[in-house]
């Protein structure tokens, strides 16, 4: 696959204004972005996601290393590299609120050196695609938040760049608009062959539309993997056993020794044991413990895991385990 963005050993530090304390925002970050993929950039607040996005956009200069956009270093040849990138960084704040929907699209296209005449048809198509046609002459400050967000994405689309960066594209949107935005993003990739990088806290969005995710924590990349593989990785190792008799204290002790993160719950009818296995064959160790008292097993289920649980596990330091 063709590399569109190459990031290697990226480092950025800030100095606090008053205390002059040095903050390491991004530390030795490495990853590539490939043509035609949707990449999810994840991380808790303050992890370095926005800094990374701004470094890719050329809005910040790195302390060391460089980012290449289609092979062009974005520090030395910043303006040239910007021909391939557009972004929605602050959602609806990226627009001129006293201009109409169409005027905003025309103005931003003009800022990239394109004439109103040249983009007229493209704007018509985008207004249809984003379902904003009936609002084209409405001032932006009179639009709903969802419509403003869609317009901001349409502005980035009109730039006709190969890569689009979207910082929290579904933030504060209602369910319906959020789903609509997801569908639009999917169609942008499939119908227009664009590459999208999304930074989001919405795990559903990442799970639904992203091919691959890069998780950043404390300025460092902790995971760079396909979303489906990542879920599978955690999913296959998380099992829930339903037992028809409770475990003895010795059995519970033995389980806890071998699987410290296990969860054991009893109710009147059944007992439930949930375990995370490092290797699939570790399940035989559980059978050995159950065999001690010949504890009957009612069922064994692979526990369905949500992407937000995967994310939390990784952020809490479980990533070494995931990377095995």
Partner 1 sequence: MQWINLFLANLWKEYLEMKRYLPNTIALVLTFYFIFLGLFGVIHFFGDPSTQDVNIQFVIVNYIFWFLALSVIQMFGFEIVNEAIRGTLEQLSMSPMGIWRILSTRLIASTIIYGIIIFVLLIITMLTAGQWLNIDILSIFPIFVLTVFGMYGVGLMVGGLAIVYKQIQAFLQILQFLLAGLTFIPLAASPFMYFLPFVIGVDLVRDIMIGGQTLIDIGWLPLTILFINAFVYFIAGLLFFNYCERMAMKKGLLGQY
Residue with smaller CB distance to partner 1, 14 or 270:
14
Residue with smaller CB distance to partner 1, 94 or 213:
94
CB of 69 to partner 1, least distance (A): 11
Report if residue 14 touches partner 1, rule: CB under 8 A: yes
Report if residue 113 touches partner 1, rule: CB under 8 A: yes
DSSP codes, 222-264: EEEEEHHHHHHHHHTTEEEEEESSPPPHHHHHHHHHH-TT-EE
Q: What is the C-alpha to C-alpha distance for residues 176 and 146, in angstroms, rounded to an integer?
A: 9
Q: Which stretch binds partner 1 (CB under 8 A): 115-123, 247-255, 279-287, 297-305?
A: 115-123
Alpha helices for 5-143 (secondary structure H) = 49-56, 78-81, 101-110, 116-129
Report if residue 142 touches partner 1, rule: CB under 8 A: no
CB of 91 to partner 1, least distance (A): 9
- Are the C-beta atoms of residues 249 and 232 closer than 8 Å to each other? no
Residue with smaller CB distance to partner 1, 59 or 184:
59
Report if residue 57 touches partner 1, rule: CB under 8 A: yes
Report if residue 60 touches partner 1, rule: CB under 8 A: yes
Residue with smaller CB distance to partner 1, 77 or 242:
77
Residues 101-135: b if buried by 16+ CB within 10 A, e if exposed: bbbbbbebbeeeebeeeebeebbeebbebbebeeb
Q: Which stretch binds partner 1 (CB under 8 A): 76-84, 208-216, 259-267, 287-295?
A: 76-84
Give me 213's structure tokens. 């995710």
Q: Which of 8, 9, 93, 144 binds partner 1 (CB under 8 A)?
A: 93
Residue with smaller CB distance to partner 1, 50 or 213:
50
Report if residue 106 touches partner 1, rule: CB under 8 A: yes
Q: Which stretch binds partner 1 (CB under 8 A): 65-73, 109-117, 188-196, 218-226?
A: 109-117
Residue with smaller CB distance to partner 1, 58 or 178:
58
Q: Which residues contact 289 (CB under 8 A, 6 or more apart)?
A: 251, 254, 255, 258
Q: Which stretch binds partner 1 (CB under 8 A): 81-89, 243-251, 255-263, 288-296?
A: 81-89
Q: Where are the beta strands (DSSP E) in the chain?
A: 3-15, 22-34, 38-42, 64-69, 72-73, 85-88, 163-167, 195-199, 212-217, 220-226, 238-243, 263-266, 271-276, 297-302
Report if residue 19 touches partner 1, rule: CB under 8 A: no
In this structure, what is the dihedral angle of CA atoms 52, 56, 60, 64, given to the nearest 10 degrees?
A: 80
Q: Which stretch binds partner 1 (CB under 8 A): 112-120, 193-201, 285-293, 311-319?
A: 112-120
Which residues lie across from 272 on neighbouring strands?
A: 242, 265
- Are the C-beta atoms of residues 231 and 251 closer than 8 Å to each other? no
Count of residues that bind partner 1 according to CB under 8 A? 39
In this structure, what is the dihedral angle of CA atoms 243, 249, 251, 255, given to the nearest 10 degrees?
A: 100
Pairing of strands 263-266, 271-276: antiparallel
Q: Which of 103, 138, 235, 245 binds partner 1 (CB under 8 A)?
A: 103
Contact positions toward partner 1, by CB under 8 A? 14-15, 51, 54, 57-61, 79-80, 82-83, 85-87, 89-90, 93-99, 103, 106-116, 118, 139
């Amino acid at each position: 696959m063709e590399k569109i963005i190459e990031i290697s050993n990226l480092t950025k530090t800030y100095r606090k204004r008053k205390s002059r304390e040095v903050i390491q925002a991004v530390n030795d970050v490495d990853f590539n972005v490939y043509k035609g993929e949707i990449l999810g950039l994840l991380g808790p607040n303050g992890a370095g996601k926005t800094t990374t996005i701004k470094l890719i956009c050329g809005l910040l200069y790195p302390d060391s290393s460089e980012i290449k956009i289609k092979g062009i270093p974005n520090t030395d040849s910043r303006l040239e590299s910007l021909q391939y990138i557009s972004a929605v960084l602050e959602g609806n704040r990226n627009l001129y609120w006293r201009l109409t929907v169409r005027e905003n699209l025309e103005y931003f296209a003009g800022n990239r050196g394109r004439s109103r005449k040249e983009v007229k048809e493209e704007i018509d198509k985008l207004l249809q695609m984003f379902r904003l046609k009936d609002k084209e002459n409405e001032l932006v400050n009179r639009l709903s938040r969802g419509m403003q967000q869609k317009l901001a994405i349409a502005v980035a689309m009109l730039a006709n760049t190969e890569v689009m960066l979207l910082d929290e594209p579904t933030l504060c949107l209602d369910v319906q608009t959020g789903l609509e935005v997801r569908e639009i993003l999917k169609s942008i990739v499939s119908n227009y062959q664009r590459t999208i990088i999304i930074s989001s806290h919405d795990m559903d969005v990442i799970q639904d539309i992203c091919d691959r995710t890069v998780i950043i924590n404390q300025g460092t990349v902790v995971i760079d993997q396909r979303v489906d593989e990542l879920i599978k990785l955690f999913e296959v190792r998380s099992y829930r056993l339903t037992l028809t008799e409770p475990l003895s204290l010795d059995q519970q002790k033995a389980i806890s020794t071998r699987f410290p993160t296990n969860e054991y719950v009893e109710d009147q009818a059944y007992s439930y044991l949930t375990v995370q296995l490092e290797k699939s064959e570790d399940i035989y160790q559980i059978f050995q413990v159950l065999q001690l008292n010949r504890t009957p097993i009612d069922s064994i289920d692979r526990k369905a895991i949500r992407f937000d649980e995967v994310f939390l596990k990784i952020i809490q330091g479980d990533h070494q385990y995931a990377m095995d």
